[in-house]
Amino acid sequence: MATVAKPTTPTRQIGAPPMVPRIAPREDLNPFRIAQIQFDMAAEFLKLDPGLRQILRTPKRVLEVSLPTKMDNGQVKVFTGYRVQHNVSRGPGKGGIRYHPNVTLDEVKALAAWMTWKTATVNVPFGGAKGGVICDPKRMSKSELERMTRRYASEILPIIGPSMDIPAPDVYTDAQTMAWIMDTYAMTIGHSAHGVVTGKPISIGGSEGRNEATARGLLYVVEEACKLKKISLRGATVAIQGFGNAGATAARLFAEKKAKIVALSDTRGGVTNSRGIDPIKAIRYKERSGTVVGMPGASRLSNDELLTMKCDILVPAALENVITLHNAEAVKARIVAEAANGPTTPHADEILARRGITVLPDILANAGGVTVSYFEWVQNQEGLMWDVDEVNARLQKIIVRAFHEMVDTMRKHHVPPRAGAMILAVGRVAEATLVRGLFP
């Protein structure tokens, strides 16, 4: 099995031509099959045994649950929820819970797999898991969301816990969602267990810095990539697709570094201004109107137009499969920094690499969230409280180290960034699996 050299400061630019197995000419947008294509590529480089490949590409456990929930009108509606644990060879399962009308089991399986590789890329002692509920949270009241969340928590309770599987926020879930899950778990087992979830409110054991951790980790990765590509972040143009927590925080952090935010978008559309958009004003406008569309001083554009506009840094921060075979040739960014999970398809990866566009892969670029979730879990387990400066310093150290380990792997195997990160991660999980052996 391949081993990764000790990190050194790389001197060459990243973005080497891809070396991946041939894939079918017709693009498959199933996220789990995409995750398996990415795994198979890494397994080929590592020359993994066929049996070990089967273990690593198959989820350990898949749970589907029915969630009868009393709605505010007195009627009962039954939602469907999932919790998938992909691999726990390196530690407890770790992964968010998303609420979205388009959640599918294959999507949750893919996200769980990506969490396995993400935690291994940054080398924190977790495995990969993920959860989801098929619902439209925008059409539900807070009380309906609470009842559904508590029912979901009670149904997945047998397989979660501080030493088993630790949920966190994801799309359309937040600190309040985690508080409900933690309380449901504690009331059921009869004692407090702060470490059962991360991303909680500070008042009940959450960590300083967790709310902006995904965006801050993204910033650290982009800073390192800019150094290698000799791009000045000061004055660099940034377009962000997806103005949720990660996208809005990233916009603010990039602006603090004097980068120029030239476009923003959400589910209803986007806005652009070549002279720059003030992210604080955009956040306030969205809080009032529910969207960035229509904010003063900016012109309207579509999400598709944002993805192909000329900029230095493109940040897809929404959902998967937004950069595909159909628009990859039109992408004009110099760096694509994946704040979302799975935004770029394998075909698009090939096209972007051929065109010299650097794709900073999700399993590193958005790993700041799980890294600070690890810090939160450690603080809960040990009864510690770190201030935000300590959290951010620890985060930067881990992210920068992981970036250079990825680049070393890229140089060793002559591959682009995603392949480098995947080879690094799969190698670590494979080694843990082999050392543990099979039971019985």
Distance CA 261, CA 274 (A): 8
**Amino acid code (one letter) for 277:** I
**pTM summary value:** 0.91
CA distances from 307 to 34, 79, 323, 330 (A): 20, 33, 8, 8
Strand order in the sheet with 165-169: 61-70, 76-87, 128-134, 93-100, 165-169
d(CA 277, CA 259): 10
H/E element, 181:
helix 175-189
Residue closest to 279 by CA, chosen among 261, 295, 303, 257: 261
- DSSP strand E in 35-127: where? 61-70, 76-87, 93-100
Alpha helices by DSSP H, listed for 230-361, are 245-256, 279-289, 303-307, 346-354
CA distances in angstroms from 104 to 57, 82, 100, 101, 168, listed in the order given: 18, 9, 9, 9, 18
Residue 440: asked if its preceding bond is cis (omega within 30°), the reply is yes
Q: What stretch of H or E contains 370?
A: helix 368-382
Question: For position 27, what pLDDT does the model report?
Answer: 86
Cβ atoms within 10 Å, residue 143: 11
Q: Which two tokens stand for residue 416?
A: 């682009």
In the three-class reduction of DSSP (H, G, I as helix; E, B as strand; rest coil), residue 85 is classed as strand
pLDDT at 12: 42
Q: Secondary structure of the chain: what % helix, strand, coil (to 5)?
A: 45, 15, 35
Same fold across 59-204 and 213-365: yes
Q: Which residues sit opposite 64 in a β-bridge?
A: 82
Q: What element of type H or E holds 388?
A: helix 388-413
Is 136 exposed, middle or buried, given 0-12, 13-18 or 19+ CB atoms closer than 10 A? Answer: exposed
CA atoms within 13 Å, Cβ hemisphere of 64: 9
Which top CATH class is 59-204?
Answer: alpha beta
Residues 6+ apart with CB under 8 A from 260: 235, 236, 237, 238, 275, 276
Half-sphere exposure of 268 (CA within 13 A, CB side): 10
Nearest to 238 by CA among 253, 228, 225, 251: 251
Contact in structure between 360 and 419 (CB atoms under 8 Å): no
* Residues 6+ positions from 215 with CB-CB distance below 8 Å: 245, 246, 247, 249, 250, 252, 253, 339, 368
160 CB neighbour count, 10 Å cutoff: 23
Hey, where are the domains in the chain?
59-204, 213-365
Q: For residue 136, which of 101, 173, 176 has the smallest C-alpha distance?
A: 101
Nearest CA-CA partner of 82 in 167, 161, 144: 167
Q: What fold, for 213-365?
A: Rossmann fold (3.40.50)
* Contact (CB, 8 A) for 247 and 265: no
Mean pLDDT by 10 residues, the chain (440 residues): 42 47 67 96 97 97 98 98 98 98 97 98 98 97 98 98 97 96 98 96 96 97 97 97 95 98 96 96 96 95 96 95 96 98 96 97 98 98 96 98 98 97 98 96
**Amino acid residing at 256:** E
Specify which residues 238 forms β-bridges with: 261, 313
Does the annotation mark 130 as catalytic? yes
* pLDDT for residue 21: 46
Residue 3, pLDDT score: 45
Tell me what pLDDT residue 14 has. Answer: 55
Closest CA to 359 of 421, 424, 305: 421
**358-360/165-169 β-pairing:** unpaired
Catalytic residue among 94, 109, 118, 130: 130
